[in-house]
Structure 1
Amino acid sequence: MIKRRFVATLLLAVPLSFPVVAYAADGGAKTNDDDPSINALGTGVNQILKVLQVHPDSASDSCINALKEMHAAQDQLSKEEGHENNQDVEVARDVTASSMEDVTTICGTDARTLCRESAGQNPALAAACHALPHEDD
């Protein structure tokens, strides 16, 4: 239980201890890719992470696992982009986009639940909740 809380806190706190920047190395989602759809997905993921950072214990195990998979996919994409004329870049982008969609769905549910239950009690949380992407985006 303590390990889960530590991992949740670490995965959610690191990306948001800095302003959302354009690269996944800070722990957030990538937003500086050559593919605009990756950037849009990354922006949505980072908004969800802002909500969950307020109360990291609200992140489910499924969310934590989805974040780990997203980070692994982003790392692989970064490696593939570093190689000239690499045909695997598009596959890596597809995998990254899919993992970001999973984070948006899974962690987005956790974030929206937190917003429904606690946004009225915390102005910072209310502001982060207001910036969440709509579920149909």
Structure 2
Amino acid sequence: MNKRLLLAAMLLAVSFAAPVTAHASDDGGAKTNDDDPGINAQGIAVNKILKVLQSDPDSASDSCINALKEMHTSQDQLAQQEAKNNNQDLGVARDVVASDMEDVATMCGADARRLCRSPDGEKGKLAQACDTLPDAGE
């Protein structure tokens, strides 16, 4: 599947999902329903970034797309570990998800901030999404 089509599908899935705080990996967004509050906080920040990128999926860089793919892969692996109740590997899986979410926040966050600085960033729903965008340091 074309990278841009994949990203558009992931971003579109986020727009039709429940509110940001209820996102899980199966809706295209970042996981926010984990037992680890740190992962949930990161997931909320990532989902805010993805909400901005929904307005123009083509503004997402290849590094953002690759980071999203990695995050989804690690979220799937975490879900498998949680289903197995394998506590030994669960901590490692959570660390990988947290690291991948940081990568998405960095890569996709830069793209989202660039989009918010564009003339379109001051219009309608995009402006609202830009207002909720986490700071680069979050």
TM-score (norm. length: structure 1): 0.93
1:91 matched residue in structure 2 = 92
1:134 matched residue in structure 2 = 135
Q: 1:83 to 1:4 in 2, by over 3 A?
A: closer
**Which 5+ residue runs of structure 2 have no aligned equivalent?**
none
**Which 5+ residue runs of structure 1 have no aligned equivalent?**
none
% identity of equivalent residues: 57
1:37 matched residue in structure 2 = 38
Alignment of 1:66-77 (within 5 A): 66-77=67-78
Q: Deviations over 1:8-59 (max 9, x none)?
A: 2112111222233332111100001000000000000000000000111111
Q: 1:101 to 1:60 in 2, by over 3 A?
A: same
> 1:4, 1:83 → 2: CA distance?
32
- Residue pair 2:17, 2:23 contacting (<8 A) in 1 also: no
1:119 aligned onto 2:121: yes
> 1:6, 1:28 → 2: CA distance?
16
Query: In angstroms, what is the RMSD of aligned CA positions?
Result: 1.4
After the TM superposition, which parts of structure 1 deviate over 3 Å for at least 4 consecutive aligned residues? none
Letter in structure 1 aligned against 2:69: K
> 1:87, 1:33 → 2: CA distance?
17
> 2:133, 2:16 → 1: CA distance?
18
> 1:80, 1:3 → 2: CA distance?
30
81-90 or 99-108, which moves further after superposition?
A: 81-90
SS in 2 for 1:87: helix
- Residue pair 1:31, 1:40 contacting (<8 A) in 2 also: yes
1:3 matched residue in structure 2 = 2
1:14 matched residue in structure 2 = 13
Q: Deviations over 1:57-98 (max 9, x none)?
A: 111111011000000000000001112343000000000000
SS in 1 for 2:75: helix
